[in-house]
Structure 1
Amino acid sequence: MNTFPEATKGTSNYPRIIARGLLLALLLQLLSACSMLRLAYGQGPSLAYWWIDGYADLSELQTVQMRKDIDGFFAWHRGSELPYYVTRLQQWQQLATAESNTDLVCAQFDVLRAAYLRVVDRSLEPMARLALTMTPAQLLHLQRKYAKNNQEYERLYIRVNNEERIAHLMDKALERYEPVYGSLNDAQLKLLRERIRQSPFDAVRVNAERVRRQADLIKTLRELQADRSATVATATNALRRWHERVMQSPIPGFAAYSDGLVRNGCEQFAAIHNTTTPEQRTHAVQVLKGYETDLRAVAAPY
């Protein structure tokens, strides 16, 4: 939906890393052909593990527990969340054939955000178990991973001129639109580029918030490690409070700024959708129907 980088929504942080890992198979439906969805979801536990391991450098004991937690998550997600997505995909097929508007798009964004928050809530206890066992070396590994991600973010969005930044944002936007609608025509590409050019996205401001979240998390993890009386319950609460600071930044004005970016993204999506041809809308319905069919198959009991 949005053309601003994912970091705007706070995804470059540890609990969200795990949540993203656990949801990776589902999110792949937005990036690949629907025929790959069943395979992707089937590989979800392994993909999630390797995603998390890339940030935490898990030990053998941590690996055993994490794989168990991931399997439990996917069992919950398959039974509780996939039927919900099937229903939503049916609704989105209907929406794809009609004109849209900003409020309607933002309502769907709120639906996805609520689903994301359910995933985070389900992930907090496993994250807490891992947090309590992390070593100083693993925290250093996490910091180095953050540093590498930050360098890449700066390369794409900060250490560039405005036209280069717009080009990167265009690429990200097309990754969202074209799997659903097919190739955009010249007029749509021009409109999309102009919408991106007018976006209030501020790479420097967003990066500062990303770095704040990262530092906040490292501080939270160190405090948990220093507290010898910490339990899974107390660690879960600490991570929940941290995530609340992710969702509602303590930096004055950032929450309103972030909400404005989301609103701008909704406006952009509605504007592009309303230019789509009957053929593009038919393509969108077919893609969404393919997702629905695949999710029904994945959600079906073995």
Structure 2
Amino acid sequence: MNTSFGEPLPGVLAGLHVRRIIALRVVKVCALVTMAWAITACTAARLAYNQAHNATYWWLDSHVDFTNEQSTPVRGDINAFFQWHRTNELPVYAGLLQRWQTLAAQDLSGAQVCAEFDVIRQRIERAADASAQPMARLALQLDAAQLEHLKSRQARSNEEFADDFLQTSPGKRLDARFKRALSRSEMLYGRLDNDQKALLRNNLQASGFDPQRTQAERLRRQADLLQTVKEAQAAPETATERVRSHMARISQSPTPGFDAYTNDIVRQGCAQFAQLHNTTTPEQRTHAVRVLKGYEDDLRVLSAQR
């Protein structure tokens, strides 16, 4: 059920990408660190989450190259955001994981899987809204050299995307996607049998993911980000609302047909995940429940820390 690759639910949690733009990177790390990094192991997840504020800062710094004067207030905003997220969001994610343990023990429909995906998407949007003011403050501080630095980092990201999805052969891309999807599936269920592996690979091959269309949308969002920063700096009193509008154009693209395309990919992924899940044995489902319980326990420990 990956929004791009048709990977199963663990792939969504481990690989669901809030778009790689600076205005939403804090959201990505905060809202998804509990799902993306927690998919490794309980102890590793706790360490990762407790260091996520540093990871967020260094990611942002790699994109805009903070000055000494900017560093302290940016770190303060990031720390405050993570404290909010720990208090308000982690308990919700723990509750979701508790519910998923019940779902993992039974057959699922694609509609059920999509309903759970929509809950995650809503939590991400909530975290995005909470990050709007600090992101607006950051946008107002960026100078011309930093915007050029950001443009260079965007260009490098586009080259990396092209290397992964546009320049390799379809067969090699499928092999790489299958390897990732298999790893994530077996992390949840334990070892898949040959029929399940074949089903997973066939579903990936049938995915409607279009890398050229995705790259075009990435370019639109990157240009939109730069324009948003310039407009915010021209009218500082509107900065927060401009950042929120930019985020809204990520959630709902102005590109004709793109939202319908991504919604189709999501629905397809939901159905594919349900199809794979419904082939699992009682032992594999017991394994999944145990894994999800471990994630739940981990998030409850994290949410209790202050």
TM score, norm. by length of structure 1? 0.93
Q: Secondary structure at the match of 2:236?
A: coil
Tell me the residue number matched to 1:4.
Answer: 4
Tell me the residue number matched to 1:241.
Answer: 245
1:14 aligns with 2:18: no
Tell me the residue number matched to 1:137.
Answer: 145
Tell me the residue number matched to 1:54.
Answer: 62
Given that 1:24 and 1:48 are in contact with CA atoms closer than 8 Å, whether structure 2 keeps it comes out as: no
Given that 1:34 and 1:294 are in contact with CA atoms closer than 8 Å, whether structure 2 keeps it comes out as: yes
Tell me the residue number matched to 2:174.
Answer: 166
Tell me the residue number matched to 1:41.
Answer: 49
Mapping of 1:172-251 within 5 angstroms?
172-225=180-233, 227=234, 229-231=235-237, 234-251=238-255
Q: CA RMSD in A?
A: 1.9
Deviation of 1:16 after TM superposition, in Å, equals 2.0
Mark the CA change 1:138 to 1:244 in structure 2 (over 3 Å): closer, same or farther. same
Tell me the residue number matched to 1:300.
Answer: 304
Corresponding letter in the other structure for 1:157:
F
Sequence identity, in percent?
Answer: 44
1:255 aligns with 2:263: no
Tell me the residue number matched to 2:279.
Answer: 275
Mark the CA change 1:8 to 1:46 in structure 2 (over 3 Å): closer, same or farther. closer
Tell me the residue number matched to 1:63.
Answer: 71
Mark the CA change 1:288 to 1:236 in structure 2 (over 3 Å): closer, same or farther. same
Q: Which stretch of the first structure deviates more once superposed, 31-40 or 83-92?
A: 31-40
* Aligned match for 2:126, one of 118, 122, 130: 118
Mark the CA change 1:235 to 1:154 in structure 2 (over 3 Å): closer, same or farther. same
What is the number of equivalent residue pairs in this alignment?
298
* Aligned match for 1:291, one of 273, 295, 299: 295
Deviation of 1:10 after TM superposition, in Å, equals 5.5
Corresponding letter in the other structure for 2:243:
L
Mark the CA change 1:24 to 1:112 in structure 2 (over 3 Å): closer, same or farther. closer
Mark the CA change 1:143 to 1:27 in structure 2 (over 3 Å): closer, same or farther. farther
Mark the CA change 1:148 to 1:301 in structure 2 (over 3 Å): closer, same or farther. closer
Q: Give the Cα separation in 1 of the matches to 2:291 and 2:43.
A: 10
Unpaired segments of 5 or more residues in structure 2? 6-11
Q: Secondary structure at the match of 2:131?
A: helix
Q: Which stretch of the first structure deviates more once superposed, 291-300 or 16-25?
A: 16-25
TM score, norm. by length of structure 2? 0.91
